Amino acid sequence: MRYSHKLSDAVHILAYIDICHDGDLSSAAIAASVESNPALVRRLMGALRRGGLLATQQGSATPKLAQDPAEINLLDVYRAVEDDGNLLHIDDKTNPHCIVGGNIQDTLRVAYAEVQAAAEAQMKEVTLARLIGDILTRERQKNQ
């Protein structure tokens, strides 16, 4: 099963822009930190801009956070970059004539909705400011 790194990479980009605001903020520099390619970084930055989390100017490598890091949470970032907001997905192709296959989708929809609501509530509690603080604390501890 393949899974998305968009949330992780988008948080990485936002944290990099905040922490390294006086440095090189080109998509190439950010891509080197993410260990990805500049085109992916530009696509994610575009999604973050459309999501109201990032301010950019075309032709200028001066991106800025559009909100205070304390006002940005993981759910905001997730909604900005993920095409499908659902964390869990149901296999809709099951045998409707089987006791399990005929009932599993509706059963899982209820359970998955509960999981989705709980995850979204928790994601709202995790701010970019908290994550940036943790990054900086870990860096200081490594350098002691």
Kindly report, residue by residue over 8-43, the tens digit of the pLDDT: 999 999 999 999 999 999 999 999 999 999 999 999
Give the residue-averaged pLDDT of 58-87. 92
Tokens describing residue 106: 């509706």
Q: How far apart, in whole angstroms, are the C-alpha atoms of residue 65 and residue 53?
A: 6
Give the residue-averaged pLDDT of 97-105. 94
Q: How many CA atoms lie within 13 A of 48 on its CB side?
A: 30
- What 3-state class would DSSP assign to 65? strand
What structural domains and CATH numbers belong to the chain? 6-142 (1.10.10.10)
Q: Is residue 1's pLDDT more than 80?
A: no
Q: How far apart, in whole angstroms, are the C-alpha atoms of residue 1 and residue 117?
A: 23
Which candidate, 39, 30, 37, 38, places its Cα nearest to that of 11?
30
At 2 the pLDDT is 62
Q: Return the HEC string of 94-131.
A: CCCCCCCCCCHHHHHHHHHHHHHHHHHHHHHHCEHHHH
